[in-house]
Structure 1
Amino acid sequence: MKRRIKQFCIICCLLPLLTSCWDADEPNKIRYIYGVGIDYKDGKYEIYAQIVDFINIAKTDQPIQDAIQAEVGRAKGNTVEEAFFELYQSMDLKLFWGHMTYLVFSEEALKEGRANTIINSFLRYREIRYQTWIYATKDSVEDVLLLDPLFNNALTRLKLADPMNSYQQESFIEPIDFRKLVIRLNEPSHEVNIPYIKIDDKWNSNKEKDKLPKFDGIGILTPKDLKGFVTGDKINGLQWMSKETKRGEITVPREDEFVTIVIDNLKIDVEPKIQGEEVKFDIKLNMNALLSGFEGTITEKEVRSFVKKQIKKEVEETYLEGLDIDVDIYRLSEYMYRKDLEAWKKVQKDGKVPLTENSISNLTVDVNKVYSGRKSFRETVE
């Protein structure tokens, strides 16, 4: 009996220790990092930290009109770490990094291998997640971090925070996170396409102009440097060579009008082969086409012809844009690496196979199905 009483007393003494949280931080005594911008000026790193207020962000059904959802702090340093420690000196509460959602690089921050240093700094910190989205811009990094979503909605609905939402509807540029960035830099061709964003001011309300981030192309990054940017219509072909593409569109001239065709269910097959001392690639693209608005009567044969001609043109033009800045923009080197490792070893240089204007020997575009929406290929109203 005494033994049981003794055991009970020991358990009672230990219980407070098991249930206590003396080393936990109270949520109301923490600031939360949501977005970060990195610039490089005059030999120093400039960091911009977006701190969010989750109390206001949570109120999305009836948003508070004048509520401040986020503030952006700024600091400088010889290294990224030094800049953040300078920022800590002006913080009133502890910073938590576990909710960091996106990172925006300026053009200068990506040059001369600085991006590799920055990536190492972030990924070595235990609170940073590999699901953090990565972007590049030529606009002011601070201005990008100060953008708000439409209708005074929560920052979590901004395109930078959730790019996959709109990507399902329009797959112009594939979003990329830390995980994919590291994988693609470590594998042939040791180049990665980072979404290039710019501030778009084409939205208006009855109060003022709204500014939103717009995906306008890509920046091509290597472990050592930034190769450059490909933007606007010049990058159109990339979406047709990405297995992540969900849905896209082409607009082609027809007589005195234009026709827009929606493309989905895209399938890509790339077959590398050696011809003499050259590497060639046979590319086959298969897809469905949806035609909604048009004038007059159009045939299924015409739609197939439009799609084949336009997509082939866009793929070839984007490929040549990549060659102009010495970039394997479709990661053709990786296709060879995966399918014929021994051949890749013989021809590769620094992970890349030599590419020329004639490296794509065959480019075949097939349209599997053609849809006309709810009606036939005749006008709804004649």
Structure 2
Amino acid sequence: MLFSLFLFIVVFLSGCGGVKNIQDLTYIVAIGMDYDQEKNEYIVYLQGLNFANVAKQEGARPTEKVPIFVGRAEGETLNLAISELYNKTENDLFLGHVSALVLSDKIVTHKFNEVIEEINRNRSLSSTLQIVTTEEEIEDVLNVEALFNYPPIYTILFKKFAYETARDELKPVTLMEFLKTYYEPMGMAKIPSVKLDDTNWMSEGNYTALYFNGYSVFQNEKYVQEIEFNDALFLTWLTEDKVTLNYKVKNGEELVANVEFLDSKMNIHYEKGTDSPQFSVELSANVDLLEKLKDIPIDEVIKLIEEDLKEKFISLYQKGVENQLDVLNIGEKWYRIHPKAYKKLEQSYTFYLNNNSLKNVKVDVNIIHFNTYKYEVER
């Protein structure tokens, strides 16, 4: 009896004719979206990979290039554009492995709310996919190969975790992380922007690589501007974990040392009884000394770093205020602990920060490793 039951189960399972083999599907790993203003049409790009080629490379360096397939279609809506690609693909499209979403600058400036709502509604797309913007041609971005003939899934488009990022590099942002800040009534939301570079690597000619070159930033569910790389990197170091960056210590125009900023800690202290955020900041940073270039007392080196850090911090904050951006997300915590003041502020329809909102900035730098260099200590 037990054997008969087992035989029945085996026969039943073997009859699952609707299950497709991996080679019978087109695996889409990235989606790109653009917008044609003249035609009022969306342009959708799908990046597909040869699953067998990717799988057999695990643990071994590829010896030949992995082909990249990029599909393109247009339509009055995003769904209509994607339907065009469904109709013109031999194997069925499978979107369960989509890990990156690339939005053009035209989408960001003209159709962002419509697109982000449609993406958020689509159950085929994971909320953990990485989202980026670009001013480059999306087809060019999706056709970039990783170094050493590795497939595109090894490019920066698919770096989802902090431990995969290098020093002096912006952190990736997932769709879920972005939406959490995008719909907040106060605070800034950001998406990394990517750019093509063909000047630093060569392989039988110039080799094109992708890199994060700044942020596209939003406030009150509206696109505001681009933040360039240096400010974006400094902002990331201030507000994110596991971010390090190189820093030149200068005395006037003279370079005196080269250090690495490790972890930072920013404590925000709000003034009580105010109708809008009024605050002071205590910023502490741990530093590694990489190179000693001039013989000056260590106390002077620390003072130079602290003064410059304070200047950079205030400058970044003031740039945000000029563009009505809360770059440090000061308001995000404030409105939660002052709901009544927020309701009153919301009705005024004015931006809630100005240059006088920041009352004081205190910076404390601690050099934790001197890399065998010896410094004179002031007495």
1:52 deviates by: 0.9
The one of 120, 131, 134 equivalent to 2:131 is 134
TM-score scaled by length of structure 1: 0.87
- Over residues 182-241 of structure 1, what are the superposed CA-to-partner deviations in whole Å (9 max), with x where a residue is unaligned? 111122326411112211122232401111112121111357532111113344541243
Does the C-alpha gap of structure 1 residues 364 and 348 become closer, same or farther in structure 2, counting only changes over 3 Å? farther
Deviation by residue 1:283-318 (Cα, 9 ceiling, x = unmatched): 111110111112232433123212212222222222
Q: 1:244 aligns with which of 233, 241, 244?
A: 241
Match of 2:25 in 1: 30
Could you tell me which residue of structure 2 aligns to residue 21 of structure 1? 16
Between Structure 1 and Structure 2, how many residues are aligned?
371
8 Å contact kept, 1:263–1:289: yes
Shift of 1:350: 9.2
In the aligned structure 2, how far is the partner of 1:345 from the partner of 1:241? 29
Which piece of structure 1 moves more, 34-43 or 294-303?
294-303
How many angstroms apart in 2 are the aligned matches of 1:54 and 1:11? Answer: 34
Report the alpha carbon displacement of residue 340 of structure 1 after superposing the two structures with TM: 3.5
Counting aligned pairs with the same residue, the percent is: 23
Measured in 2, the distance between the counterparts of 1:165 and 1:181 equals 16
2:153 corresponds to which of 153, 156, 164: 156
29-38 or 232-241: which moved more? 232-241
* Aligned match of 1:91: 89
Alpha-carbon distance in structure 2 between the residues aligned to 1:344 and 1:171? 37
Please tell me the root mean square deviation across aligned C-alpha atoms, in Å: 2.7
1:23-64 superposed Cα distances (whole Å, 9 cap, x missing partner): 322111001111111111121111111111122223262313
Structure 1 residue 368 displacement after superposition? 3.4
Corresponding residue for 1:107?
Answer: 105
Which stretch has the larger CA shift, 129-138 or 349-358? 349-358
Partner residue of 1:215 out of 204, 212, 216:
212
Alignment of 1:63-78 (within 5 A): 63-68=62-67, 70-78=68-76
Gaps of 5+ in 1: none
Call closer, same or farther: CA 1:91–1:253 in 2, change over 3 Å. same
User: C-alpha displacement at 1:154, in angstroms?
Assistant: 3.1
Tell me: CA distance 1:134–1:209, structure 2 relative to 1, closer, same or farther (3 Å). same
Aligned to 2:268: 270
Structure 2: tracts of 5 or more residues without a match: none
TM-score scaled by length of structure 2: 0.88
Q: Report the Cα distance in structure 2 between the residues aligned to 1:273 and 1:223, rounded to whole angstroms.
A: 24
**Per-residue displacement from partner, 1:233-270 (whole Å, max 9, x unpaired)?**
34454124313352123223236335322111211211
Q: 1:352 to 1:208 in 2, by over 3 A?
A: farther
Q: CA deviation digits over 1:102-129, x for unaligned, max 9?
A: 11111110124x2232233333333321
In structure 1, the residue matched to 2:331 is 333
C-alpha change, 1:117 and 1:308, in structure 2 (3 Å) is same
Alignment partner for residue 225 of structure 1, among 222, 232, 235? 222
Please state how far the C-alpha of 1:139 moved relative to its aligned partner: 1.2
Asked if structure 2 preserves the Cα contact closer than 8 Å seen for 1:168 and 1:247, the reply is no
- Seen in structure 2, the aligned counterparts of structure 1 residues 352 and 188 have a Cα distance that, compared at 3 Å, is farther
Separation in 1 of the partners of 2:177 and 2:149?
A: 31
Alignment CA distance shift 1:279-1:251 (3 Å): same
Task: Find the residue that maps to 2:156 and give its secondary structure.
Answer: coil
Distance 2:177 2:366 in 1: 30
Matched, 1:197 2:194: yes
> Cα distance, 1:277 vs. partner?
4.4
Alignment of 1:311 with 2:344, yes or no, is no
> One-letter code of the match for 1:141?
I
In structure 1, give the amino acid aligned to 2:20.
D
Report the CA distance shift for 1:206/1:194 in structure 2 as closer, same or farther (over 3 A): closer
What SS does the corresponding residue of 1:71 show, helix, strand or coil?
A: strand
| 1:187 paired residue number | 184
Match of 2:370 in 1: 372
Deviations 1:315-339 (A, max 9, x none): 2222222223221111111021344
Distance 2:285 2:157 in 1: 29
In 2, Cα distance between equivalents of 1:89 and 1:151: 34
